Amino acid sequence: MNRISSFPPIVSEDSKILILGSVPGIKSLEMKEYYAHPQNKFWRILFALFQEDFTADYAEKMELLKKNKIAVWDVIDSCERKGSLDTEIKNEAHHDILQLLQDFPSIKVIFCNGQKSFKTLRKILPDDLKIPILVLASTSPAYTIPYQQKLKDWSVLKSFL
């Protein structure tokens, strides 16, 4: 089984929100872009939350994150995985999330995109962390609740800006 690796974080000095996924899927790895699978609702949800017209242009997606003080990264640095499902992840190594939080003290809240990132993060961060960690509905097409339900779940993000 091939070992796959995540991407560097998208973060800036004024990021207030950190969104953590698990590890990029096959399409994202091929495109070298976060949440590149066309059925993943991540970008559609963010554009809808900030009332902006959706675009497939990755540079404009990065600009949306920066403008809204959002950082994006993955909990898992590398792992072995067949396909794109989180349930297939084996032999994972983790990113140093604590170091990122120290390097970017403006981050005030962590949102986990789905259960895998949340459960993994709980294992690697200290219990006395002073930053709230919230788990949101996965934007992955593998999590089959309706888009409107995902959008409603993710709307809590705006209350932290």
Q: Which residues are catalytic?
A: 40
Cα three-residue angle 69-107-128, rounded to 5 degrees: 155
